[in-house]
Amino acid sequence: MTVRTLYAQHVVLGEGETLRVGPATLGLESGKIVSVTEGPREGAVDDDLGSLLVAPAFINAHTHLAMVGFRGLVGNASLRGNVVEDLFFRLESKMSAQDVRAFSRLGALESLRHGVARVWDHYYFAESIAAGFCDVGLRAVVAPTLQDLGGPGVAQLDAQLEATETLTAARWSERGIHAALGPHATDTVSAALWKRICAVAGRLDLPVHAHVAQSVEEYERISERHDASPMQWLEHLGVLAQAPHLLAVHAIFVTSRDLLRLDPRRHTLGYCPLSQLQFCFPAHVPSWQEAGIPWIVGTDCAMSNDAMNVQRELVHVAGIRGFGPTSSAAFAQFRREPSLDAARRVDAERTAALDALGVLAEPATLLASVWSAPGRMHPAFTAGVIAAGAEADLLVLDPKHPCLWPGTDLLRALAYCDTSSALHGLMIGGAWRIGLGQVDAWLQRDEHREATAEAEARLEALAG
């Protein structure tokens, strides 16, 4: 393979505190970035993208894309109870492998349209999920959902465990599909199954991706059965120490002591802001940040969060700063007995929150949760960063588009704007999945229309 070179005046380089935008020439070979040379172009290159903005493509690190078929089904009444058990489990028990493949194609198309090149998906009929993603070219870490104590996956347990191993085969990794172990949650998986999962994860060097402490029912069950918090129980079972990497998503009923059980080198927490806002109980990200535990942002499913666009989520992470002042005792006092002093006390709350939680509003913090943090959770690849050795997943945006104009601070725009209408091209694993300037033509492809028609027919049959 020969090295192909690509130059642009605006390339997002570095990560964390070194995140910056500048001119650079990238060397691409066998689907990876093999060199990054900063500075103006010297000599000829294969692709000169001029003033276009080149950034790492986004990673949606917690989702269930096949659930796009159920978009719009969750209303306030169903959110009052345990929607996962009362509604999702019932619908999911009716879906077939073919339904899952058809719906996951649509979820994958939506993801690509929003500049997402990779997802961490967790679902039933995992091989159909992977096949649906491959149909449209989305890359993924697929965790076949494993459960033996409750939920629609109980009957599929052996097949899903087998699928986990199958998904590690070269025929999948060649198409950008990798596996993770997917225990559903602490209350739907027995101690014996958790131990089996850890053994497989250790043997195959795979991460474990699970929902942990996501509902009061889960907390109640673990507390009654084991006299422990969900995270404490995972520690007791040896999961925290043995899993090569654990992605624990939602982590709502997590205590200060639970955070001390976690190791930033092998544990990552997952936050899905819009999903949790709908459930009316966002997780406590400031304490995660303070404890130094890495965290990622995902969209969760379309049923509880109506778009697979990670940028919409980031804005809500930045908004965490505002939760405190509005619900503070000082503001309650001001509303009861308004006075200039009371107003000043509220403003003191506001400025304190602004200072204490400013890091959550920094573009580098926000973007790390959909770039470098999830891009380093799987031992098989590095993504979410433009650096030698990383996957060549490149998002190309037009900085002259009205939604980015005048492009004064492009990192801020990437974190705070919805740049999907400025999408100009998307490279995944070194190949243009959406060609430069071809977004509309790509969307109108016959195969995409056919995919939509099939999904619609299947949804109609399911609704019947």
Residue type present at position 425:
G
Strands 246-250 vs 208-212: parallel, antiparallel or unpaired: parallel
- Total residues interacting with Zn ion, rule: CB under 5 A: 1
Torsion of the alpha carbons at 113, 118, 124 and 125, rounded to the nearest 10: 90
> Is residue 313 a contact residue for Zn ion (CB under 5 A)?
no
**Closer of 60 and 419 to Zn ion (Cβ):** 60
Which part of the chain contacts Zn ion (CB under 5 A), choosing from 47-55, 251-259, 293-301, 316-324? Answer: 293-301
Which part of the chain contacts Zn ion (CB under 5 A), choosing from 111-119, 157-165, 299-307, 455-463? Answer: 299-307
Among 258, 300, 313, 398, binds Zn ion (CB under 5 A): 300
The b/e string for 345-370 (b: 16+ C-beta within 10 A; e otherwise) is: bbeebbeebeeebeebbbbbbbbbbb
Nearest to 393 by CA among 413, 372, 378: 372
d(CA 313, CA 300): 10
d(CA 97, CA 92): 11
Smallest separation, CB 205 to Zn ion (Å): 24
The CA distances from residue 202 to 186, 239, 384, in Å, are 19, 10, 25
**Closer of 300 and 313 to Zn ion (Cβ):** 300
d(CA 268, CA 232): 16
Smallest separation, CB 117 to Zn ion (Å): 20
Smallest separation, CB 304 to Zn ion (Å): 8
**Closer of 92 and 300 to Zn ion (Cβ):** 300
Smallest separation, CB 447 to Zn ion (Å): 29
Smallest separation, CB 94 to Zn ion (Å): 19
**Closer of 122 and 321 to Zn ion (Cβ):** 122
Q: Specify the residue for token string 């129980």.
A: 233
Other beta carbons within 10 angstroms of residue 336's beta carbon come to 8
Smallest separation, CB 424 to Zn ion (Å): 31
Smallest separation, CB 300 to Zn ion (Å): 5
Both tokens assigned to 97: 């492998």
**Closer of 187 and 300 to Zn ion (Cβ):** 300
**Closer of 15 and 300 to Zn ion (Cβ):** 300
Nearest to 59 by CA among 392, 369, 409: 369
Residues 109-138 close enough to bind Zn ion by CB under 5 A: none
Would you tell me which residues interact with Zn ion (CB under 5 A)? 300
